[in-house]
Structure 1
Amino acid sequence: MRLQPPGATPADLAADLTDPHLYAEGEPHLIWHHLRLTDPVSWRSTAAGQGYWSIARHADVDRVLRDPTTFTSSRGTFLNVLGKVDPAAGRQLATTDPPQHTVMRRSLQRPLSIRSAADQEAMIRQLVRAALGPALATGSTDLASTLAGLPVATLGTMMGVPEGDWPELTELSLRAVAPDEWPLPQGPKATLQRAHRALFAYFQDLAEERRHRPGTDLMSALLSMHSGGGRDTGSVVSNCYSLMVGAATWSHAPTGALVELAASGRYREWARQPELLDPLVEEAVRWTSPANHFLRHTTTETELGGRTLPAGAPVVVWLGSANRDATVFTDPYTFDPTRRSNSHLGFGSGPHNCLGAALARRMIRIVFEELFAAVDDIALAGEVRHIASNFVAGYRSAPLDLRVREVPHPTGGTP
């Protein structure tokens, strides 16, 4: 089974954890399992000749994420900027530290909640039903493709993005988080650069339109708040980009959970227990850990996990490893929707905890509700393929057969 490590060979342990193809074709959990036991804070080299401190244990990952004073985000948060300076530093929520981060986050949190929880739920349910409609009509689906557009549709609705632009933004977001999986002919590096430029250009145009014709959407609210705070449009655009790219990971949690329920034959068991929906959502996030890593840099010499890290050192925390730590999770390689004490780090931790976590949880829950209401059972219908990406731990393909009920069960909420 892909997520159960029986043991690691020397070749496994020598693999480059920054290689995107390891996550599509290899066994990163074998490496993380070994590192947690033998070398949880270790210096690792990349194929490009760079290096970083690799953090594998839950406690150490949590400490790094909770301590921005010692482990700064200001030099970039993803491996694609390792050895470089992130051009978004200081302008994007993800690449700032408190107190500036705290001020920026507060201004983003308020417009994200301008819709009531009920309005958000009704909107998301409508989008989920539209996405699942063809699958329910035919009794089969590639769930990875079916759900891939949901995050952009959800945030796009809140930002006032025209529905006709959702497919393009979905494609650009996927290329931004997984350029090796969806490369242009010029290669992954050019793909990443083009996706970044196109997304920034799109949100720049949208921001200018809203500046002249403001509405009640998220983009208009952000512009209104920033215009009185001395921040330029670039900061708004940068944060809209960050939200959209981060949301590209959300759909992989329900996909991974449903793949596991199909593979284990336990779908019907859990579909009949609506009281377990909330722990099921949390276990789905722990199990898949859709955001695979974050990058930080030490601001001063510090000790972590018994090792001394010098000032200015790059530090990579592996969320997928932390969420399999047996010192925190009982039987961590078992998908258990009844898991009640679930201290997963799937949405990060500390001041940089995922800003859209509440929205993501609601979307994941509604996917489960709608499927459980309409589908009596599911089964794998082909090979499950993972995405080649060191950032998003997700699915390129997840083919399922659905046994659709003639009369839907009332689990799935109201229209």
Structure 2
Amino acid sequence: MPDLGDPALFEAGGQYDRWRWLREHDPVHRHERGFWSVTRYADVDRVLRDHTCFTSERGTLLNLLGRPDPAAGRQLAATDPPEHDRMRAPLQKVMGMRSAAAYEPALVAAIDELLAPGLDGRPFDLAAAVRELPLALIGPLLGLPRDDRTRLLALVMAASAEDDPDYQIAGGPAATLRRAHRELFAYFLQLVRERARTPGDDLVSLMLSPDGGGMDPGAAVSNCYSLLLGASVTLPNVINSTVYELARNGGYRAWAQRPGLLRSGVEEALRWASPGSHFMRYTTRPVRLSGVEIGAGEPVVAWIGSADRDPAAFPGPDVFDPARTPNRHLAFGSGHHYCIGSHLARTALRRFFEALFAAFADVGLAAEPVRVRSAFLTGFKKLIITGVPRRGV
């Protein structure tokens, strides 16, 4: 049987068939490595939502299986309510004080710049281009120097795709993760200290200010890391997965010609890509899922990518339908841990697809794409496409 813990399965795109089989025949599956795989929408939603039975403080990703999570109780993603809610409140307040609309002109300009290489009708690597989009969004919000973007991009990829040889350092995945985490946290600690000495009008300065709740430096660092990683996981991989599917099945024109479907289409893109394929929790007490008893203290991996293809929740789940409503996907999680930056991601995705449809009447695949080797990150690291510029139509 294909192993859902093996990054090579995801690199080959084989996870969808495996998820389909598990949903139908073994929806709560005991893996030989000692974790439970949950693949149906209702069960995944419960695991993510029910913090009384499933804790996030013992590791939230498979790469932490069997090891304590050093971020437990310090990062939003690795902290349970009620402490989670106390940590979240000031950041939510801060983000509400800085409307994404203030940064949209710079974001739109960055998107136009990323698409520019394809405007002459020649093939270009969309995956390489949109890899920079998260920092085009988060950079101005956090006040990150533009010259730091290349270094930060490399560290983010190492932190989210440590099994991929293109991002791995000598010593293997564990060493790659340690180094990426250490350098990212050191970077943001320096940034937080600078903002404490010389405040600006960015989110970091607001986090530290009385108006933003006066976060301590450790909380501010953790929140900066979470925002950067969340954007870097979501934006490029939703775009790449969606454009690949639209180019592959000929559905690009159908969506591009219906601007009224932009919002519903972005929700469908999020469902389709489910860029963070899983999150892990540990049971705090015996629980029952789909008729299967799981004891207390057990690791449970909730496969978001599988839940978002469950036909019990999404009719025709293997068809990309930009008009799909309702669309209660789990790409941003569920419950208390629902992604705090979801509104920023939606804004960026809407702006991107607006610009893409304005620039190209159609797109096609110019080469076989290359997927990321990761059991967490769902997406492509190379996607060569050819656009049909509208000026030539």
User: 1:205 aligned to 190, 194, 200, which one?
Assistant: 190
User: 2:133 aligned to 150, 158, 162, which one?
Assistant: 150
Deviation of the 1:407 alpha carbon:
7.7
Q: TM-score, normalised to structure 2's length?
A: 0.95
Deviation of the 1:232 alpha carbon:
3.2
Distance 2:3 2:203 in 1: 40
User: 1:37 aligned to 16, 24, 39, which one?
Assistant: 24
User: 1:247 aligned to 210, 223, 231, which one?
Assistant: 231
In structure 2, the residue matched to 1:135 is: 118
1:378 corresponds to which letter in structure 2?
Answer: V
Listed as ranges, the matches of 1:10-409 within 5 Å are 14-46=1-33, 51-137=34-120, 139-181=122-164, 182-225=167-210, 232-250=216-234, 251-406=236-391
Deviation of the 1:291 alpha carbon:
0.8
More displaced 10-residue stretch of structure 1: 140-149 or 290-299 = 140-149
Deviation of the 1:246 alpha carbon:
1.7
Distance 1:238 1:154 in 2: 18
Confirm or deny: 8 A CA contact 1:73 1:95 kept in the other structure: yes
Distance 2:325 2:96 in 1: 27
1:233 corresponds to which letter in structure 2?
Answer: P
More displaced 10-residue stretch of structure 1: 55-64 or 180-189 = 180-189
2:73 corresponds to which letter in structure 1?
Answer: G
Deviations 1:270-324 (A, max 9, x none): 1111001111101111111101000101111111211111111111000010011
Deviation of the 1:168 alpha carbon:
1.1
Unaligned runs of 5+ residues in structure 2 are none
Cα distance change on mapping 1:228 and 1:58 into 2, 3 Å:
closer
Distance 1:185 1:354 in 2: 33
Distance 2:213 2:267 in 1: 38
Deviation of the 1:401 alpha carbon:
0.5
Distance 1:108 1:135 in 2: 38
1:234 corresponds to which letter in structure 2?
Answer: G
Aligned to 1:315, the other structure's residue is in SS state strand
Deviation of the 1:85 alpha carbon:
0.7
Cα distance change on mapping 1:312 and 1:336 into 2, 3 Å:
same
Q: How many residues align?
A: 390
Confirm or deny: 8 A CA contact 1:348 1:354 kept in the other structure: yes
1:142 corresponds to which letter in structure 2?
Answer: D
2:15 corresponds to which letter in structure 1?
Answer: P
Deviation of the 1:226 alpha carbon:
9.5
In structure 2, the residue matched to 1:10 is: none
Cα distance change on mapping 1:173 and 1:294 into 2, 3 Å:
same
1:249 corresponds to which letter in structure 2?
Answer: V
1:36 corresponds to which letter in structure 2?
Answer: R
Confirm or deny: 8 A CA contact 2:94 2:212 kept in the other structure: no
Confirm or deny: 8 A CA contact 2:206 2:212 kept in the other structure: no
Cα distance change on mapping 1:69 and 1:159 into 2, 3 Å:
same
- Cα RMSD for the two superposed structures: 1.7
Deviation of the 1:116 alpha carbon:
2.6
Distance 1:138 1:348 in 2: 38
Distance 2:183 2:210 in 1: 25
Aligned to 1:382, the other structure's residue is in SS state coil
Distance 2:73 2:276 in 1: 22
Cα distance change on mapping 1:221 and 1:137 into 2, 3 Å:
farther
Aligned to 1:249, the other structure's residue is in SS state helix
Q: TM-score, normalised to structure 1's length?
A: 0.90
Deviation of the 1:26 alpha carbon:
4.9
Confirm or deny: 8 A CA contact 1:139 1:404 kept in the other structure: no
1:55 corresponds to which letter in structure 2?
Answer: V
Aligned to 2:282, the other structure's residue is in SS state strand
Distance 1:397 1:124 in 2: 23
2:125 corresponds to which letter in structure 1?
Answer: D
1:401 corresponds to which letter in structure 2?
Answer: T
Deviation of the 1:15 alpha carbon:
2.2
2:138 corresponds to which letter in structure 1?
Answer: L
Distance 2:103 2:289 in 1: 41
Confirm or deny: 8 A CA contact 1:326 1:332 kept in the other structure: yes
Cα distance change on mapping 1:116 and 1:239 into 2, 3 Å:
closer
